[in-house]
Each structure stands twice: as C-alpha cells, then as structure tokens.
C-alpha cells in the first residue's frame, strides 16, 4: 500500500482512534491534516507526532458551522491541491438512561456525530468530484447494529452514520468516490477508559478474541478501505470487533 501524494483529512484526529489513524497514514507516506475541537489539543497532537519524526498539519473548525468548515477545506485544497481521503471520525458517546438525558444532550450528540459528518462531507465532495475520485470513510460503531442498553443518542447517531454511508455510496459512485464505514467494537481509548469498569469487564468477557481492540486495529481497517485494494468496495459498514457481535 502506497499513499505517497495522497492528501488525507481526519476529523477527531487529536487522540484515540483518530490520532492513531493520522499516525498510520503518515507512516504510509500520506500528507495528513488533522482536525480537533480546540487549538490546544490540535497543537498537542502535532507536537506528539513531531516527537516521533512525523509531520502533520491541523485545524479546529466548528464542525457544526458549515461556512467555517468550507473555509477550512478551501484553505487545505489551496495549499495541497486536492483532498483524496476524508475520514469522518470525530464523535462523542453517551451512557445515561433516557430519563436522565436532556434534549440538549441528545441534540449535541446528533450535532457532532451526524451533522458534523454531513457538513465536512458536503464541503469536501465538490473537490473530489473535480478529481473524479475520492474516498470517504466514517467511524460508525458496533452499537449501530444492535443498540446499547443506555445512552440512546449514541447508537441513534451511529445508525444515522450508516445511513449517510450507504446513501452517499450510491450518490457518489458515478463520480468514482467510494464511501464506507468502520464499526469498531470496544477499542481502548479515552472514550472507553472513562466508562465504569463494571460496564467494560462483562463486555470484554463476551469478545471471542478475548481482548479490547486497539486504535491501530481501526486505523488498519481505514488504511485498507482507503487503498486501491478496496477499489470495488463501497457502501459497506465493516465490523472490527473481535467477533463480539450479538
């Protein structure tokens, strides 16, 4: 796999799955631009990569402000000439019971996890159409197949991500733009380590591969789906979960 001269944008690229994805694409020769929610976290991520001898650029547009996203994407295209691969990875989760969840909390998950994917994709797609090629990859979740026992907004948002993935795959196929998603199971990142151990342990016990996934497991799936080896794969939600499906 060779990503020399490929320009990759990764949202939610400052930590966890996103940062590991940035790192992986850099290792395979791509030019990578990471997005984060704040200037400070973007700078920290770039500095962390720099210590490893890797060079990435970063921005922190408000993903719910389409005009701001578009301005950022236009700046990137002016500087790099194109965007080959977009990875919509930024996301937040939830675990409260429905009675304890406010409408504001529900809306804020949908805003980032769904409208954020819509806004960045909408801004990037015209530039991909111009090149008559491109790859859009979304971070879904295994809860997008079977839900979860609390935090209803989170699976709701990931079902929507699957809907966006399958629909855009059809809409954009005539322009040779492929659209797929990766559905991680339980991956060892901040998002998971903030959950109570009594919630995590029974979940690991049910994983046939008997371990949590690593951010690199997900980054490798993105790498494959972004590569020409996946040139006939579009509209797919790929489970990467150690067979923990139920």
Residues in contact with ligand NAD by CB under 6 A are 12-18, 36-37, 41, 63, 89-93, 112, 139, 141, 184, 186-187, 189-192
Indicate the residue among 134 and 184 with the shorter CB distance to ligand NAD.
184
* Least distance CB 141 / ligand NAD (angstroms): 4
* Least distance CB 81 / ligand NAD (angstroms): 25
158 to 92, 149, 198, 234: CA distances (angstroms): 11, 15, 24, 18
Indicate the residue among 13 and 151 with the shorter CB distance to ligand NAD.
13
CA distance 246 to 235: 22
* Least distance CB 235 / ligand NAD (angstroms): 19
Indicate the residue among 121 and 139 with the shorter CB distance to ligand NAD.
139
CA angle 135, 138, 140 (to 5 degrees): 155
Indicate the residue among 22 and 83 with the shorter CB distance to ligand NAD.
22
Eight-state DSSP code of residue 111: I
* Least distance CB 42 / ligand NAD (angstroms): 8
Indicate the residue among 89 and 234 with the shorter CB distance to ligand NAD.
89
Active-site pick, 59, 60, 146, 154: 154
126 contact partners, CB below 8 Å, separation of at least 6: none
CA distance 138 to 225: 11
96 to 109, 142, 202: CA distances (angstroms): 13, 18, 18
180 contact partners, CB below 8 Å, separation of at least 6: 135, 136, 137, 138, 165, 169, 225, 230, 233, 234, 235, 236, 237, 238
Respond yes or no: is residue 28 known to be catalytic. no
- 4 phi and psi, to 5 degrees? -55, 135
Residue the block writes with tokens 């530039």: 127
Minimal CA–CA distance to 148: which of 215, 204, 88, 97? 97
* Least distance CB 190 / ligand NAD (angstroms): 4
The catalytic site residues sit at 154
């Amino acid at each position: 796999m060779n990503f020399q001269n490929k320009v990759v944008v990764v949202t939610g690229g400052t930590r966890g799955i996103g940062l590991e994805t940035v790192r992986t694409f850099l290792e395979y020769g791509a030019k990578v631009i990471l997005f984060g929610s704040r200037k400070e976290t973007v700078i920290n991520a770039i500095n962390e990569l720099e210590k490893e001898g890797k060079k990435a650029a970063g921005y922190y547009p408000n993903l719910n402000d389409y005009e701001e996203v578009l301005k950022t994407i236009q700046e990137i295209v002016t500087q790099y000439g194109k965007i080959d691969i977009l990875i919509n990875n930024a996301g937040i989760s939830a675990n409260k019971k429905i009675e304890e969840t406010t409408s504001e909390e529900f809306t804020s998950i949908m805003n980032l996890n769904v409208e954020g994917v819509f806004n960045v994709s909408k801004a990037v797609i015209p530039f991909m159409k111009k090149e008559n090629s491109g790859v859009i990859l979304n971070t879904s979740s295994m809860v997008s197949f079977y839900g979860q026992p609390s935090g209803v907004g989170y699976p709701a948002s990931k079902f929507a991500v699957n809907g966006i993935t399958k629909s855009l795959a059809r809409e954009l196929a005539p322009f040779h733009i492929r659209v797929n998603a990766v559905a991680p199971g339980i991956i060892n990142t901040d998002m998971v380590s903030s959950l109570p151990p009594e919630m995590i342990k029974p979940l690991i016990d049910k994983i046939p591969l008997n371990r949590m996934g690593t951010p690199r497991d997900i980054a490798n799936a993105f790498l494959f789906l972004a590569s020409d080896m996946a040139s006939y794969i579009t509209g797919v939600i790929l489970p990467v979960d150690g067979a923990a499906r139920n």
